[in-house]
Amino acid sequence: MKTSVAYAVVAGLVLLAGWAEAQETNQPPDLVRRECSTCHGLRGISVSPMFPNLAGQQTVYLETQLKAFRDRSRADPHAQAFMWGMAAQLTDSTISAIAAYFAAQPAAPGKPAGRDETAGGKKIYEEGISTQQVPPCGSCHGEKAAGNAVFPRLAGQHRAYLERQLAAFISNARANEIMHENSKNLTALQISQLAAFLSAQ
């Protein structure tokens, strides 16, 4: 009798610990709760397309960007206006915690766009445009646009945000040699199609 009670208690405690730990990793860090969530949403899905979805984003990418905001190497206009201040005092460990939290959140669902646009964007994403020296985006960003380490997830991102980032890469407002080379020959229509396709994934 005593032994089975003991086993039951231990089993119960293990279950409780497991449940508590599950709750733990899903708890937003305090800073996320107080600050990040006001623009990016508590679970990393933002309301306004001015602020990107962070849910399900690659951990390494998030860490890299937060450090780039902190040291001001990422200097596109919204980075300056919003994120320089936000990231200025972040420690490396806080950055890791924030990145881990958002990366663990379920990614934003895609928003359907027009069929022609999406088809055009899909073609560019999967095949590139050889005549314009545009490589297939999927070769770095993944078959399903879920990203890989330093290459960000693009699937389900706000369309307007993707368009703005591509424009920033082209103009060098956002300094990134690889992305500048890859996107500098894209036309406005192609950017629009790509963004429509990716935001629908």
Partner 1 sequence: MRTKGLVVALLVPIVSVLIAVAAAPPFAPRPASATPGYARQTGISCQACHTVFPELTPFGRKFKLNAYVFTNVKEIQATDEQSQRTLSLSDLPPLSVQLQASNTTLGRGIPDAGVAGDLSQQNSTQFPQALSLFYTGKISDNLGSFLQLTWNPSTNAVGIDNSDLRFAGHAGFDSIGVPDFIYGLTLNNNPTSQDVWNSTPAWGYPYIFSNVGVPPVTKTLLDGQLAQEAVGFGGYLFLFDHLYVELSGYRSAQTSFTNTTTGGPGPLDSTSPLPRISNVAPYWRVAWEQDWGNHALEVGTYGLSAQVHPTGIGESGPRNSFTDIALDGQYQYITDNHIFSAAATWIHEIRKFNNVTLADHTNDWLDTARLTGTYYFRRKIGGSAQFFSTTGSRDFTLYCSPSTFATAPSPACPGAATGTPSLLLGSANGRPTTQGATFEIDFLPWLNTKIGLQYTAYSKFNGRSHNYDGFGRNASENNLLYVYLWTAF
Which residues of this chain interact with partner 1, rule CB under 8 A?
23, 26-28, 30, 33-35, 37-39, 42, 47-50, 77, 80-82, 84-86, 88-89
Cβ(187)–Cβ(114) under 8 Å? no
Three-class SS of residue 90? coil
- What is the smallest separation between the CB atom of 161 and partner 1, expressed in angstroms? 12
Contact partners, residue 11, CB within 8 Å, separation at least 6: none
Cα 83–Cα 87–Cα 89 angle in degrees, nearest 5: 145
- 22/119 with CB nearer partner 1: 22
- What is the smallest separation between the CB atom of 27 and partner 1, expressed in angstroms? 7
Unique residue bearing structure tokens 């990040």: 36
Residue 2: both structure tokens together: 């005593």
- What is the smallest separation between the CB atom of 89 and partner 1, expressed in angstroms? 5
- 32/134 with CB nearer partner 1: 32
Cβ(28)–Cβ(37) under 8 Å? yes
- What is the smallest separation between the CB atom of 164 and partner 1, expressed in angstroms? 9
Three-class SS of residue 106? coil
- 80/172 with CB nearer partner 1: 80
* Backbone dihedral angles phi then psi of residue 50, each to the nearest 5 degrees: -70, -25
- 27/73 with CB nearer partner 1: 27
